[in-house]
Amino acid sequence: MKAWVFKINTKRGWEFDRYFRSRAHGPYELGDEDWIRSASSLRYLRQEVKCGDVFLCYETDRKRVVGVARAASDGRPRDLMRKTSLLDLCPPREAVRLENPLTRHPDLDYILAFSPQRGRGTVQRLDADEFKRLRRILIAKNPRQAEKLRGLLGS
Classify residue 135 as left (phi > 0), alpha (psi -120 to 50) or beta.
alpha
What is the per-residue pLDDT for 35? 78
Q: Are strands 64-70 and 28-30 parallel, antiparallel or unpaired?
A: unpaired
* Higher pLDDT pick, 40 / 139: 139
pTM: 0.94
Residue 80 has pLDDT above 70, yes or no: no
Domains of the chain and CATH, by start: 3-153 (3.10.590.10)
Question: Tens digits of per-residue pLDDT, 21-72?
Answer: 999 999 999 887 777 888 889 899 989 999 999 999 999 999 999 999 999 9
Spatial CB neighbours of 5, under 8 Å, sequence gap ≥ 6: 55, 56, 58, 65, 113, 114, 123, 124, 126
CB 49 within 8 A of CB 65: no
What is the per-residue pLDDT for 82? 63
